[in-house]
Amino acid sequence: MSPPVPALPTPRDVYFFATCVVDMFEPEAGLDAIAVLEHAGLRVTFPEAQTCCGQPAYTTGFPEEALRVARAQLDLFPEPWPIVVPSGSCAGMIHHHWPRLFAHDAELSKRARDIASRVVEFTDFVVGTLGLDLADADDAPVKVALHTSCSARREMDTLRSGRAVLAALPGVELAHHDHESECCGFGGTFSVKHPEISAAMAGDKLDAIAATGCSTFVSADCGCLLNLNSTLAKRGTPLRGRHVASFLRERLRIASVEHGP
């Protein structure tokens, strides 16, 4: 298995496709991802007109609606730069499903395939392309669990990158949890169409993570985090999951982008 984007010479410029969840619900994760990228010396371009990859409609059975939304993103990445996405499932949607979504139209399909080939999940990009040196990061001991979203794991191979990032950070102990590869129960509209089953999956996942005694857990998928953190908040326990970019920014002692540069 190889990372979706081969280890190229480090680019000067990247696009940042934030995803709708990050834009509206988890802006900190987006800011932190941008901070890490800029810290590595990259110029980050955030196309203002971006909205969503179309995944929610696509997986619910409304491909036509998904197509219209995805179509509106096709014009936003004219330069041949990598497109960094801070969410594995959205990256997977663009990488695997956009080419199929536009298969009926040769011209659109060509552009979708071009974009698909440049899309890279944030953690993958940090490990596979940037090769960011993490040795100087904060080395205060901390025990961290890792939750990889299923589509990220199966469509984007981000498990390896997630583990690699945590392994490269000094002081970080990776706490393996029971049934680690199992889904957290989010699954987009699945979580509201089958709430009891979804809740049972989220509950089991959180029990397993909590059982490791970790102080936090990280994930590269904001859908999973939304599900798990909302459940934890309802439980009233202090444990929370964090986006891997936020954890990374903190360990690298990088100032938030809003205060710099």
Name residues contacting another protein, limited to 41-70 (CB under 8 A). Answer: 43-52, 54, 56-65, 68-69
Using the structure block, give the residue that is written with the tokens 């990009």. Answer: 125
Decide whether 18 or 166 has the Cβ nearer to another protein.
18
Phi, psi at residue 242, to the nearest 5°?
Answer: -130, 150
- Residue by residue, DSSP assigns 197-248 as HHHHHHHHHHHHHHHTT-SEEEES-HHHHHHHHHHHHHHT-S--EEEHHHHH
Show the tokens assigned to 219.
């994930």
Annotate each residue in 164-203 with x if it binds another protein (CB under 8 A) or - if it does not, as one string.
-----------------xxx-xxxxxxxxxxxxxxxxxxx
Decide whether 45 or 215 has the Cβ nearer to another protein.
45
Rg (CA), the chain: 18
Residues 22 to 41: which contact another protein by CB under 8 A?
22-28, 30-31, 34, 38
Residues 222 to 251: which contact another protein by CB under 8 A?
226-227, 230-231, 233-234
What burial class does residue 182 get, using C-beta atoms within 10 Å of its C-beta: 0-12 exposed, 13-18 middle, 19+ buried? middle
Q: How far is the CB of 64 from another protein (least distance, A)?
A: 6
Q: How far is the CB of 167 from another protein (least distance, A)?
A: 21
User: Angle at which helices 195-211 and 222-235 pack, to 10 degrees?
Assistant: 80
Decide whether 117 or 203 has the Cβ nearer to another protein.
203
Q: How far is the CB of 183 from another protein (least distance, A)?
A: 4
Q: How far is the CB of 239 from another protein (least distance, A)?
A: 14
Total binding residues toward another protein, as defined by CB under 8 A: 82
d(Cα 119, Cα 16) in Å, to the nearest integer? 10
Residues 60 to 119: which contact another protein by CB under 8 A?
60-65, 68-69, 71-72, 75-79, 104
Residue 261: cis peptide before it, omega within 30 degrees of 0: yes
* Residue 69 Cα distances to 75, 77, 215, 243, angstroms: 12, 15, 38, 25
The stretch near another protein (CB under 8 A) out of 105-113, 121-129, 151-159, 244-252 is: 151-159
- Picking from 129, 124, 122, 102, the residue whose alpha carbon sits closest to that of residue 113 is 102
7 counts as binding another protein under rule CB under 8 A = no
Decide whether 54 or 128 has the Cβ nearer to another protein.
54
